């Protein structure tokens, strides 16, 4: 089973759907392959065997590996750049769809009716990602899959998945002093209470239309305000911050109170280019309102640096690598996320990998070169491979 899991992971790590096929050819001809030397795989399974063996496996079995990723980043002293607001880290929560079909489906599929009467089956997941404003890298954490739940009458949704994620992982990540980021869907009292119970803090988007009580409070209150003007590259930007503490989150006797803040950005001509508001349990004042707003805006990194990369940057998250009848699609998504996570570790902490990445113009070109080299040559170690990619070492002689 170890070989099967590593074989599945290797395809995503190498970003090469043909990796196993190439390595079987090397093994048939020379009794060795990069599967053995780089991944420690003793016998190379076929793609169909990998799918058949992984289908009954729970994706939860791989969750501890995400903790190993964080440990590697921490040990390399690369976790510090993710710290914000006196030692907090930011964990963005958001849902994304990764499979859609009108024909292929399984018991874990959600479904919807289209206007033409056709039933559409789909899979979504709640993704949790470590982000930081001004930091290019993001670190994916263990996901929670949105799927029909036993004994539930309603279709599963992001909010319920968020509660399950916090129950499963909140205590583990509490050591990071997390601030959870999310869109307006999460700015509801049950989710906010779940975050606090898990040892975290929240900084969620708050839209006036869905929080009418807060909107009423704002209209009748004297808001705290501050304004900052910045000039970068000859362009002027004016940041206006407003905030109000101790606002009830909902219209009920047991409503929790939150602190509300808003950031509005205008260009040199006075045109508003950005406006958004947030609610948080953290105190807000003149000294930290700008930093809080920047952290709240970093929620978009889960879209730009995570989902966009996973779907368009070589990981092909929305491609159907195998659906199965039990858990195959979820397991393959987890292996794909782990490949992304390990690539991030390499980008942050492995100097030879960093130098090799600098030799090419894009991520895609880097992995294309890796695929070309490992299709014909057998490398005795990862160090040898990345140093070859960095043009610091000659490739091994053909076997």
What CATH number does residue 213 fall under?
Answer: 3.90.350.10
- 148: pLDDT strictly greater than 80: no
Please say whether the beta carbons of 260 and 279 come within 8 A.
yes
Ordered DSSP codes for 321-333:
S---SSSHHHHHH
C-alpha distances (whole Å) from 283 to each of 124, 243, 244 are 34, 10, 10
C-alpha distances (whole Å) from 394 to each of 272, 346, 365, 398 are 55, 21, 19, 12
Residues whose CB falls within 8 Å of the CB of residue 2, separated by 6 or more in sequence, listed in order: none
Least confident of 49-53, 94-98, 154-158: 154-158
Query: Quick check: is 358 in a domain?
Result: no
Query: Quick check: is 364 in a domain?
Result: no
| φ, ψ dihedrals at 97, nearest 5° | -95, 140
pLDDT of 221:
86
pLDDT of 135:
87
What is the number of structural domains in the chain? 1
Confidence of residue 281 (pLDDT cuts 50, 70, 90): very high
Choose among 319, 318, 324: nearest CA to 106.
Answer: 324
Higher pLDDT, 194 or 306: 194
Query: Quick check: is 305 in a domain?
Result: yes
Residues whose CB falls within 8 Å of the CB of residue 177, separated by 6 or more in sequence, listed in order: 87, 88, 89, 200, 201
Choose among 64, 75, 71: nearest CA to 5.
Answer: 64
Q: Give me the torsion for CA of 32, 37, 42, 45, rounded to 10°.
A: -80
What digits encode the pLDDT tens for the residues 202-221?
Answer: 999 999 889 989 998 898 88
Tokens (6 digits) for 225 = 């305000």
Confidence of residue 145 (pLDDT cuts 50, 70, 90): very high
Confidence of residue 152 (pLDDT cuts 50, 70, 90): low
Query: Quick check: is 33 in a domain?
Result: no
Tokens (6 digits) for 390 = 């960095």
Q: Sign of dihedral through CA atoms 379, 381, 383, 384?
A: negative
Confidence of residue 1 (pLDDT cuts 50, 70, 90): confident
- 269: pLDDT strictly greater than 80: yes
pLDDT of 153:
56
pLDDT of 154:
67
Q: How many residues does the chain have?
A: 399
Query: Quick check: is 244 in a domain?
Result: yes
Residues 234 and 333: their CA atoms lie apart, in Å, by: 44
Element (H, E) at 268: none
Q: Domain range for residue 302?
A: 55-349
Rounded mean pLDDT, 307-318: 84
- 297: pLDDT strictly greater than 70: yes
Query: Quick check: is 274 in a domain?
Result: yes
Query: Quick check: is 63 in a domain?
Result: yes
Query: Quick check: is 10 in a domain?
Result: no
Confidence of residue 324 (pLDDT cuts 50, 70, 90): confident
Higher pLDDT, 231 or 199: 199
- 361: pLDDT strictly greater than 60: yes
CB neighbours of residue 286 within 10 Å? 11
Q: Are strands 201-205 and 178-182 parallel, antiparallel or unpaired?
A: parallel
What digits encode the pLDDT tens for the residues 47-61?
Answer: 999 999 999 999 999
DSSP 320: -
Choose among 149, 91, 156: nearest CA to 124.
Answer: 156
The gap between the terminal CA atoms of the chain, to the nearest Å, is 29
């Amino acid at each position: 089973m170890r070989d099967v899991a590593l074989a599945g992971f290797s395809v995503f790590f190498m970003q090469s759907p043909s990796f196993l096929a190439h390595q079987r050819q090397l093994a048939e001809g020379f009794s060795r392959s990069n599967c053995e030397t780089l991944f420690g795989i003793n016998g190379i399974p076929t793609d169909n065997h990998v799918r058949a063996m992984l289908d009954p496996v729970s994706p939860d079995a791989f969750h501890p590996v995400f903790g190993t990723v964080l440990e590697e980043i921490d040990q390399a002293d690369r976790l510090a750049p993710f710290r914000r607001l006196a030692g907090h880290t930011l964990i963005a929560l958001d849902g994304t769809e990764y499979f859609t079909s009108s024909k292929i489906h399984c018991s874990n599929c959600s479904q919807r009716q289209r206007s033409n009467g056709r039933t559409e089956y789909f899979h979504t997941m709640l993704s949790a990602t470590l982000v930081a404003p001004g930091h290019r890298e993001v670190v994916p954490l263990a996901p929670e899959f949105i799927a029909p739940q036993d004994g539930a009458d309603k279709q599963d949704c992001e909010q319920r998945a968020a509660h399950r994620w916090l129950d499963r992982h909140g205590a583990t990540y509490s050591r990071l002093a997390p601030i959870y980021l999310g869109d307006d869907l999460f700015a509801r009292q049950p989710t906010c209470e779940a975050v606090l119970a898990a040892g975290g803090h929240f900084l969620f988007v708050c839209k006036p239309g869905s929080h009418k009580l807060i909107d009423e409070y704002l209209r009748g209150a004297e808001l705290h305000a501050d304004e900052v003007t910045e000039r970068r590259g000859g362009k002027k930007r004016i940041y206006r911050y407003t905030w109000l503490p101790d606002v009830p989150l909902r219209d009920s006797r047991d409503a929790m109170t939150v602190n509300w803040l808003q950031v509005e950005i205008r260009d040199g001509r006075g045109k508003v280019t950005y406006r958004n508001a947030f609610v948080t349990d953290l105190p807000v004042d003149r000294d930290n309102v700008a930093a809080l707003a920047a952290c709240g805006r970093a929620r978009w990194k889960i879209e730009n640096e995570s989902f966009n990369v996973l779907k368009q940057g070589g990981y092909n998250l929305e491609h159907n690598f195998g659906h199965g009848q039990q858990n195959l699609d979820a397991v393959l998504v987890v292996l794909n996320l782990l490949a992304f996570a390990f690539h991030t570790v390499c980008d942050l902490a492995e100097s030879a990998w960093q130098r090799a990445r600098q030799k090419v113009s894009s991520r895609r070109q880097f992995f294309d070169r890796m695929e070309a080299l490992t299709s014909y040559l057998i490398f005795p170690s990862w160090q040898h491979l990345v140093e070859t990619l960095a043009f610091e070492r000659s490739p091994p002689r053909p076997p």
